């Protein structure tokens, strides 16, 4: 009886405030902004990351515990994003196991992982260790279950040079069924063509291919190297979060608090190294709660999800009242 009353209540409130219902009912992706430390201090950084930030990392065990809890929840999409700041900096500070530990956990549990890096480390003393780990991890996992995301734009210093070295080094390794995603901004459209030309000058053959996604029934135009690396591209709009708010070209997001769905309508739930969980990965007004208590204990995933649904409902209610008041 009590369960029926609760279900009716949830259905009613989802009708009145559908944004909360979306957070409750859509599949979700876990995003871990593992650290806020970064080599770079880009003008457009929506995370305010940089070398002046704390060298703190969300512990690998905490991340694995959250993923393990997600695996018991039918709403978890089995997709995770690892980002920062710069996650590869763990190697610089002596923890060469951090990244492999996380990615091998995903391999073992059939979780699709996307690791984002600025590739600013490709000429460092530990770069060969990172490339060896990547090869081992890709070789041990399901083909294309790992995506490596790079930024190709005019804001990231030397992004063209660093990405070319990254792709060239990966393409010298045999059998690399991995997707490399290059994210550009509108206005930087020519950079991908330049990158392909430079790769070709260096002897990396990149051919065009059409791939079919049987799940969605869609086809996609991609580029593929001889050793199986698929190159994907996307273009993003620069929003005015973090340091980007100082850039004239950054766009203001009107309903930024509701920008938390990925293109395939998955809810992005982002954990940061300061102890917050936010709906949506970056800019805008945040709908958030904490994943860590004041005693430094990680809260259960279900209780975090419950708070995010409640907070989304509150933000929607507030936005509706504000909107009505403005149009009166
Ligand atoms: S945009 Fe990326 S590379 Fe630049 S400071 Fe931020 S985290 Fe670092």
pLDDT digits (tens, 9 = 90+) for 119-154: 999 999 999 999 999 999 999 999 999 999 999 999
pLDDT digits (tens, 9 = 90+) for 89-98: 999 999 999 9
Distance 277 CA to ligand 1 centre (A): 20
Confidence of residue 179 (pLDDT cuts 50, 70, 90): very high
What residue owns the CA closest to ligand 1's atom 5?
Answer: 41
**Choice between 64 and 317, residue whose per-residue pLDDT is larger:** 64
Q: Indicate the average pLDDT of the chain.
A: 91
Distance 167 CA to ligand 1 centre (A): 19
Pocket test for ligand 1, best of 39, 120, 156 (most atoms within 8 A of CB): 156
Mean pLDDT of 39-56: 94
Q: Is 283's C-beta closer than 6 angstroms to any atom of ligand 1?
A: no
Q: Is residue 325 scored above 80 in pLDDT?
A: no
What is the gyration radius of the CA atoms in the chain, in angstroms? 21
Q: 126: which DSSP letter?
A: T
Distance 238 CA to ligand 1 centre (A): 13
Nearest to 87 by CA among 102, 73, 105, 66: 102
Confidence of residue 217 (pLDDT cuts 50, 70, 90): confident
CA distances from 321 to 208, 285, 312, 327 (A): 51, 17, 14, 10
CA distance 201 to 218: 32
CA distance 94 to 82: 19
The residue to which tokens 């709009």 are assigned? 237
pLDDT of residue 73: 97
Highest mean pLDDT among 148-152, 182-186, 253-257, 317-321: 148-152
Whether 197 and 206 have beta carbons less than 8 Å apart is answered as no
What residue owns the CA closest to ligand 1's atom 7?
Answer: 85
CA distance 318 to 212: 42
Whether 73 and 24 have beta carbons less than 8 Å apart is answered as no
Q: Which run of H or of E encompasses 147?
A: strand 146-151
Tokens of 2: 């009590």
Q: Is residue 285 scored above 80 in pLDDT?
A: no
For 289-312, give one letter per residue: b (16+ CB within 10 A) or e.
bebbeeeeebbebeebbebbbebb
Whether 38 and 86 have beta carbons less than 8 Å apart is answered as yes
Q: 109: which DSSP letter?
A: T
SS3 203: coil
Tokens of 268: 């992005």
**Choice between 146 and 254, residue whose per-residue pLDDT is larger:** 146
Mean pLDDT of 26-49: 95
The residue to which tokens 């994907």 are assigned? 232
Q: Which of these ranges, 120-134, 153-167, 271-285, has the smallest mean pLDDT?
A: 271-285
Mean pLDDT of 296-314: 94
Region 28-327: CATH code? 3.20.20
pLDDT of residue 11: 84
pLDDT of residue 328: 61
CA distances from 275 to 79, 280, 291 (A): 21, 15, 5
Confidence of residue 281 (pLDDT cuts 50, 70, 90): low
Mean pLDDT of 8-21: 85
Whether 136 and 96 have beta carbons less than 8 Å apart is answered as no
Ordered by start, the domain boundaries in the chain are: 28-327
Confidence of residue 326 (pLDDT cuts 50, 70, 90): low
DSSP one-letter string for 184-213: EETT-TTHHHHHHHHHHHTT--EEEEEEEE
CA distance 147 to 322: 40
SS3 187: coil
Q: Which residues contact 183 (CB under 8 A, 6 or more apart)?
A: 149, 150, 151, 152, 153, 233, 234, 235, 236
Q: Is 244's C-beta closer than 6 angstroms to any atom of ligand 1?
A: no
Mean pLDDT of 260-282: 87
Confidence of residue 211 (pLDDT cuts 50, 70, 90): confident
Q: Is residue 272 scored above 90 in pLDDT?
A: yes
Confidence of residue 227 (pLDDT cuts 50, 70, 90): very high
pLDDT of residue 98: 98
CA distance 138 to 140: 5
Say what the pTM is.
0.93
Q: 252: which DSSP letter?
A: P
User: Which atom of ligand 1 sits closest to the CA of residue 38?
Assistant: 8
Q: Is residue 310 scored above 70 in pLDDT?
A: yes
In degrees rounded to 5, what are phi and psi of residue 46? Answer: -75, -10
Q: Is residue 255 scored above 80 in pLDDT?
A: no
Q: Is 275's C-beta closer than 6 angstroms to any atom of ligand 1?
A: no
User: Which atom of ligand 1 sits closest to the CA of residue 84?
Assistant: 7
Q: Is residue 186 scored above 90 in pLDDT?
A: no
Tokens of 15: 């009708």
pLDDT of residue 327: 61
Question: 278-282, long-range: CB within 8 Å, 24+ apart, which pairs?
Answer: 279/23, 279/308, 279/311, 279/312, 281/31, 281/81, 281/83, 282/46, 282/47, 282/239, 282/241, 282/242
Number of Cβ within 10 Å of residue 230's Cβ equals 20
Distance 50 CA to ligand 1 centre (A): 7
Q: Is residue 284 scored above 60 in pLDDT?
A: no
């Amino acid at each position: 009886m009590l369960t029926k009353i609760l279900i009716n209540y949830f259905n009613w409130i989802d009708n009145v405030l559908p944004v909360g219902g979306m957070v409750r009912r859509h599949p979700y992706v876990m995003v871990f902004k593992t650290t806020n430390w970064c080599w770079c201090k880009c003008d457009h950084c929506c995370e305010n990351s940089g070398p002046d930030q704390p060298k703190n990392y969300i512990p690998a065990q905490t991340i694995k515990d959250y993923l393990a809890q997600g695996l018991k929840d039918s709403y978890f999409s089995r997709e995770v994003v690892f980002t920062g700041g710069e996650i590869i900096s763990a190697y610089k500070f002596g923890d060469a196991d951090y990244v492999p530990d996380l990615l091998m956990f995903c391999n073992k549990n059939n979780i699709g992982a996307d690791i984002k890096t600025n590739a600013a480390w490709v000429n460092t003393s530990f770069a060969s260790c990172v490339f060896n780990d990547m090869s081992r991890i890709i070789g041990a996992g399901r083909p294309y279950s790992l995506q490596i995301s790079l930024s190709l734009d005019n804001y990231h210093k030397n992004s063209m040079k660093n990405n070319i070295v990254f792709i060239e080094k990966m393409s010298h390794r045999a059998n690399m069924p991995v997707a490399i995603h290059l994210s550009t901004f509108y206005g930087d459209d020519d950079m991908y063509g330049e990158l392909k030309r430079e790769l070709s000058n260096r002897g990396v053959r990149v051919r065009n291919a059409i791939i079919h996604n049987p799940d969605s029934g869609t086809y996609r135009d991609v580029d593929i190297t001889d050793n199986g690396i698929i190159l994907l591209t996307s273009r993003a709009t620069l929003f005015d979060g973090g340091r980007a708010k100082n850039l004239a070209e950054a766009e203001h997001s009107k309903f930024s608090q509701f920008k938390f769905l990925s293109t395939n309508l998955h809810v992005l739930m982002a954990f940061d190294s300061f102890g917050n969980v936010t709906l949506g990965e970056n800019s805008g007004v945040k709908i958030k709660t904490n994943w860590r208590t004041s005693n430094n204990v990680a809260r259960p995933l279900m209780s975090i999800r419950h708070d995010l649904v409640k907070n989304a409902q509150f933000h929607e209610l507030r936005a509706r009242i504000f909107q009505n008041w403005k149009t009166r």
